[in-house]
Amino acid sequence: MTGGGYYEFFAGGGMARAGLGAGWRCLFANDFDPKKAIAYRANWGAEHLCVADVASLAAADLPGMADLVWASFPCQDLSLAGGGAGLRGARSGTFWPFWALVKGLAAQGRAPRLVVLENVVGALTSHGGRDFAAIGRALAETGYRFGAVVVNAADFVPQSRARLFFVAVRGDVDIPAGLVGARPSARWHPPALVEARARLRGWVWWRLPEPARRVATLADLIEAEPSGVVWRAAAETAGLLASMTPVNRAKVEAARAAGGRRVGTVYKRTRAGVVRAEVRFDDVAGCLRTPAGGSSRQTILVVEDGQVRSRLLSPREAARLMGLPDSYRLPTNYNEAYHLAGDGVAVPVVRHLAAHLLEPLLAAPDGARAAA
Query: pLDDT per residue over 206-223, tens digit each?
Result: 999 999 999 999 999 999
In a domain, 260, yes or no: yes
Same structural domain for residues 157 and 249? no
Asked whether 208 and 357 are in contact (CB, 8 A), the reply is: yes
Which tens digits make up the pLDDT trace of 71-87? 997 665 455 554 555 55
Question: Domain range spanning residue 209?
Answer: 5-213+339-371
Task: Answer with the residue of higher pLDDT: 368 or 202.
Answer: 202
| 252 and 201 within one domain | no
**pLDDT higher than 90, residue 327:** yes
Q: Are residues 199 and 252 in the same domain?
A: no
Is residue 319, in this structure, part of any structural domain at all?
no
135 and 256 inside one domain: no
Among residues 313, 328, 352, the one where a domain terminates is 313
Do residues 61 and 189 both lie within one domain? yes
Residues 284 and 135 in one domain: no
Closest alpha carbon to 301 in 291, 310, 292: 310
Cα–Cα distance for residue pair 237/123, rounded to 1 Å: 37
DSSP 91: T
Nearest Cα neighbor of 227 from 326, 154, 307 is 326
Based on the domain organization, do 349 and 237 belong to the same domain?
no
58 and 174 housed in the same domain: yes
> Domain check: are 283 and 187 in the same one?
no
Q: Which CATH number fits the domain that encloses residue 115?
A: 3.40.50.150
Residues 45 and 161 in one domain: yes
CA distance 61 to 9: 13
> Is the residue at 218 inside a domain?
no
* Cα–Cα distance for residue pair 236/242, rounded to 1 Å: 10
The pLDDT score that the predictor gives to residue 369 is 41
Asked if residue 334 belongs to a domain, the reply is no
pTM of the model: 0.93
What pLDDT score was predicted for residue 364? 81
